[in-house]
Amino acid sequence: MTSHKPVVFIVDDETAVRDSLTMMIEQADIGVQSFESAQAFLSAYEPDFFGCIILDVQMPEMNGMQLQDELLQRNILLPVIFLTGHGDIPMSVRAIKAGAVDFLTKPVTREKLLACVRSAFVEAEKRVGEAAHKQNALACLAKLTQREQEVMSLAVQGRSNKEIAACLDISHRTVEIHKSNIMRKTGSINLLDLVRITRESDLGK
């Protein structure tokens, strides 16, 4: 997990809104950075940013929905809370389906906003943890030869050594050697452990 203190990144083109939200959040002893546009946020973004984004929908040039799409494209894991005075049901449904943690309408109470922020911080921690597991899993699987990957793919599908040997046209003993190498290289204790690693890498989905 990350050791960074979470920060709320406000992206809204209205100065008054940014100032009001900043005051609300700072009073709760939570770090805040604010940006007047989606482009300003993307320009300032660093890979170690941790926390969540409070995002307006209606903004010039790149709107909130477009920024959300861009975050997904760039694999930026920061959870998004939409806060808008111009939302509707279809828009909120699309935002949530795309991974937003909430869709709030202006004006919002301090209690409601802070509750959403704290939920988003929990989600951020979860996403960072899952990303770390995925990277570790990919690093393990990258050690495998192509043949070992083929054997592993069949093994995690529940195929027996005999079936794997027949499928790949290799001997039963060769399958055993490959599986032994796979377990050693991935650090897997058993087949269930290997299945977990492939799932965490997304290869098993």
User: What contacts 122, CB < 8 A, 6 or more positions away?
Assistant: none
Residue 122, both tokens: 């929990």
Percentage of the residues of the chain whose pLDDT score is greater than 70: 97
Q: Which one is the CATH code of 143-200: 1.10.10.10, 3.40.50.1100, 3.40.190.10, 1.10.645.10?
A: 1.10.10.10
Residue 11: C-alpha distances to residues 19, 44, 64, 126 (Å): 11, 12, 8, 23
Domain boundaries, given as residue ranges, for the chain: 7-129, 143-200
Residue 29, both tokens: 């002893």
pLDDT tens-digit map of 59-89: 999 999 999 999 999 999 999 999 988 767 7
**Thinking of the domain 7-129, which architecture would CATH place it in?**
3-Layer(aba) Sandwich (3.40)
Mean pLDDT of the region 50-58: 94
pLDDT tens-digit map of 5-26: 999 999 999 999 999 999 999 9
Instruction: Identify the band that residue 204 occupies on the pLDDT scale cut at 50, 70 and 90.
Output: low
Identify any residues that bridge with 36 across adjacent strands, giving them in sequence order.
none
User: What contacts 35, CB < 8 A, 6 or more positions away?
Assistant: 9, 10, 11, 12, 41, 44
Mean pLDDT of the region 161-190: 93
Window from 19-28, 173-182, 189-198 with minimum mean pLDDT:
189-198
- Decide if 7-129 and 143-200 have a common fold: no
Mean pLDDT of the region 116-129: 94
pTM of the entire structure? 0.76
Q: Report the alpha-carbon distance of residue 126 to residue 121 in Å, rounded.
A: 9
Instruction: Identify the band that residue 3 occupies on the pLDDT scale cut at 50, 70 and 90.
Output: low
Helix (H) / strand (E) element for 103: namely: strand 102-105
Residue 66, both tokens: 């477009």
Mean pLDDT of the region 123-130: 92
Residue 1: per-residue pLDDT: 46
- Nearest Cα to 52, choosing from 100, 1, 103? 100
Cβ atoms of 37 and 56 closer than 8 Å: no
